[in-house]
């Protein structure tokens, strides 16, 4: 199954700054998703980008996908303390039932 690897493992920024986290994967995909997990809670789906898309926006989120480099990035603009969470990418080959999650990036936004 696919597995994404998030980088960095941890990121600490000030409120109002932008946060960028990256995801790399190894085999071809149909789509790639990003999820957020607040401390001690379940994961929440943020955004899905398909393999034929290069960039997608949703509110303060911007996701890019470079299939030639097998990588994706998630940019959160004008971060808020409420954005403090772990962020996971989940690449999917489409034919496989399973999503495999990496260890995530822990983002801390300081007020």
Footprint on this chain of another protein (rule: CB under 8 A): 30-31, 33, 35, 40-45, 48, 88, 90, 92, 94-95, 97-104
Q: Nearest distance from residue 48's CB to another protein, in Å?
A: 6
Closer residue to another protein in complex, CB, 40/59: 40
Q: Nearest distance from residue 103's CB to another protein, in Å?
A: 4
Q: Nearest distance from residue 22's CB to another protein, in Å?
A: 16
b or e along 12-30 (b: 16 or more beta carbons within 10 Å of the residue's beta carbon)? Answer: ebeeeeebebbbbbeeebe
């Amino acid at each position: 199954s696919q597995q994404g690897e998030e980088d960095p493992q941890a990121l600490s920024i000030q409120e109002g700054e932008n946060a960028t986290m990256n995801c790399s994967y190894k085999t071809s995909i149909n789509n790639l998703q990003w999820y957020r997990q607040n401390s001690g809670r379940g994961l929440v789906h943020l955004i899905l980008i398909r393999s034929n898309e290069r960039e997608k926006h949703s509110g303060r989120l911007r996701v890019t996908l470079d299939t030639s480099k097998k990588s994706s990035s998630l940019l959160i603009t004008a971060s808020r303390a409420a954005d403090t969470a772990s962020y996971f990418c989940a690449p999917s080959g489409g034919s496989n039932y399973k999503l495999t999650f990496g260890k995530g990036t822990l983002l801390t936004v300081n007020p």
